[in-house]
Amino acid sequence: MKIPDLLTIENLNFRYLIREEPALTNISLSFSSGEVALIAGASGCGKTTLIRCINGLIPHSYRGVKSGRIMADGKDLAQLKLAEISQMIGTVLQDPERQILGTKVINEVAFGLENLGFNRQEILERVDESLARLKISDLRDRDTFSLSGGEKQKVALAGVLAMRPRILLLDEPLASLDPASAEETLAILRILADEGMAILLVEHRVEDVLKIHPEQVVFMSNGEVRYQGNAEDLDESINYRDVKLPAPMIIERARNQKPAVSFPVFELPASNRESLVSFVDVEFNYEEGVPILHGISLDIHQGDVIAVLGPNGAGKTTLVKHAIGLLKPKAGQVLIGGQDTCKMSVAEIAQTLGYVFQSPSHMLFAPTVEEELSFGPQNLGHNKDSITKEVKEAIDIVNLSGMEQIPPLSLSFGQQKRVSIAAVLAMRSKILVMDEPSAGQDYRNYIDFMDAILQLPNFDAILFITHDIDLAVIYANRILMVNNGQLVADGKPQDILKDYDHLHKNRLVPTSLLDVNLKYLGKTGRFMRAEQLAQVL
């Protein structure tokens, strides 16, 4: 039976103690059981704060000034203890890595029930039920740290479901998942809603979520609700540059837009066959008998913009770490400019190849953004004048002007990620390598900095690892597909991405942008972004 207004938010306002401006202003929303509600918006729009207000972490863990009321199942949440709220409202955080506590899957799923003091038999029954519901019973006795990203997300979800909440909050659950895992997670959420749960899904990958037909869409900006209604009408109220909408929707809207926008011209040097980096029969393993990379041979040429695609745990990062010399092959060779990486230090390689790590928090340390960005060029021995120029240019590219004197560690995750990219850009390496540049970024930001990076005349080649096929469609002129430690495809995007069976086999899911591009390839001659298609078609 559908319960209307299972969760209601009335005039909610919140300001963090350490901030001057409010994080949420006048939020009034209501959610019913049996429904999926999508809450979309750019970074810093207040989505995560809203989630924290609902699950009780505000005011329990985060202090601030709050007014308004949140009612769940007829109870005022302000009157309930966190433990009581957690039995009614389950939360899945953005990164399952940050949520999983148990050593084994069974411990993780049982954790909440153990804390609530259920008897052992009942806990085990509920654990098995949760695992079966998500079709992951085979993972029951596995170590949590050995799971792939998609498996971790499902295990984190199972741990929450075992507590049988009536309302489920998910904060960007798709961010670290490969497309197939994201699709599976969404399908599960649809089923849970159909079974009677109220699902609140915070996500800026709007296109993906629309596939499971959310009953309600909320669009937030600057801490306020800008749109609340059904999915069909949302295109009128949402700026398609802020969140990722389906390509046909963007094309439709961009067509009517006057004046037409111009698109960046990429300035990479013309392709030639000179090999900048060579992998020759590279083999790698951490433990004997468990190969991570197997028989990898490839060359990176001048002018290449390479997207490395593949499922979670396929070996993409391991492959790229070989290029920078952080890992050395167990057999075979990696050559940079004809020199074997085994004979070069990472610092030497860094002169040629700049590598942006997946997580910015592992590298940021300096008291100001400016000093953070000078660190790399200083290590490489650049002179003071060029460092000033390089730092300024890098700051402009990632859109952080005005933040030069701010400590990078006090910035939001998305901004930190941009600092980490700028820190490598400032080194002026000839080849730029980025691991998941769009992870944790909102749509507008990553499109903006990818545009800016590709327009730089500095690079001989660019390589990025991504789960986002659209990023490959828009920017890459070459695709490397990796699965099970092997290179399963290497070629032009038009050739590789048209084979949908092959994509599915490698846990990639075609997007609407890819569909449209392939449909009109005869006319356009190349892949392009949705707004460009709107002008050409």
Which of 247, 170, 153 lies closest to 207, judged by CA? Answer: 247
Instruction: Enumerate binding residues for other proteins (CB under 8 A).
Output: 55-57, 60-61, 81-83, 86-87, 91, 93, 96-104, 106-107, 110-120, 123-124, 127, 143-145, 152, 159-160, 163, 321, 324, 326, 345-347, 350-351, 354-355, 357, 359, 361-366, 375-376, 379-380, 409, 423-424, 427
CB of 101 to other proteins, least distance (A): 6
Least gap, CB of 52 to other proteins (angstroms): 9
Report the Cα 82 to chain-centroid distance in Å.
29
Query: What's the full length of the chain, in residues?
Result: 537
Whole-number Å distance between alpha carbons of 404 and 370: 5
**β-strands 431-435, 353-356: how paired?**
parallel
Q: What are phi and psi of 75, to 5 degrees?
A: -110, 140
- CB closer to other proteins out of 118 and 227: 118
Between CA 96 and CA 180 the distance in angstroms is 17
- Which tokens sit at 167? 């309302």
Tell me whether residue 361 or residue 405 sits nearer to other proteins (CB atom).
361
To other proteins, the closest distance from the beta carbon of 182 in angstroms equals: 19
Number of H helices and E strands in the chain, helices first, is 22, 20
Task: Give ∠ CA 107-313-296 in degrees, rounded to 5.
Answer: 155
Pairing, β 167-171 against β 7-16: unpaired
Q: Are 417 and 439 in contact (CB under 8 A)?
A: yes
- Residue 160: CB minimum distance to other proteins, A: 8
**Least distance from C-beta 290 to other proteins, angstroms?**
13
Which C-beta is closer to other proteins: that of 124 or that of 335? 124
User: Of the two residues 411 and 474, which places its CB atom closer to other proteins in the complex?
Assistant: 411
**Minimum gap (Å) between residue 103 Cβ and other proteins:** 4
Task: Give the nearer residue to other proteins in terms of CB position, either 112 or 214.
Answer: 112
Question: What is the DSSP secondary-structure string of 78-140?
Answer: GGS-HHHHHHHEEEE-S-GGGT---SBHHHHHHHHHHHTT--HHHHHHHHHHHHHHTT-GGGT
Q: Minimum CB separation from other proteins for residue 427, in Å?
A: 7
Q: Minimum Å distance from CB 355 to other proteins?
A: 4
Report the nearest approach of other proteins to the CB of residue 321 (Å). Answer: 8
93: left (phi over 0), alpha (psi -120 to 50) or beta: beta
- Residue 53 and residue 13 in contact, taking contact as beta carbons nearer than 8 Å: no
Cα(447)–Cα(474) distance, rounded to whole angstroms? 10
Query: Which residues make beta-bridge pairs with 461?
Result: 431
Residue 235 CB, shortest distance to other proteins, in Å, is 35
Give the separation between CA 435 and CA 533, rounded to whole angstroms.
Answer: 28
Amino acid, res. 160: V
Q: Which residue, 295 or 407, is less far from other proteins as judged by CB?
A: 407
- In whole angstroms, what is the distance from residue 31 CA to residue 9 CA? 9
Q: How far is the CB of 82 from other proteins (least distance, A)?
A: 6
Q: Give φ, ψ of 303 to 5 degrees.
A: 90, -5
When the beta carbons of 217 and 350 are compared against other proteins, the nearer one is: 350
Given the complex with other proteins, which of 119 and 256 has the nearer CB atom?
Answer: 119
For residue 524, the Cα-to-chain-centroid distance in whole angstroms is: 29
Least Å from the CB of residue 91 to other proteins: 5
Contact in structure between 53 and 12 (CB atoms under 8 Å): yes
Looking at the Cβ atoms of 71 and 124, the one nearer to other proteins is 124
Q: Which is nearer to other proteins, 357 or 527 (CB)?
A: 357
Compute the distance between CA of residue 410 and CA of residue 412 in angstroms, rounded to an integer: 7
Minimum CB distance to other proteins smaller for 204 or for 321: 321
CB 77 within 8 A of CB 56: yes
Longest dimension (CA), the chain: 70
Q: Which residue number, 242 or 436, has a Cβ lying nearer to other proteins?
A: 436
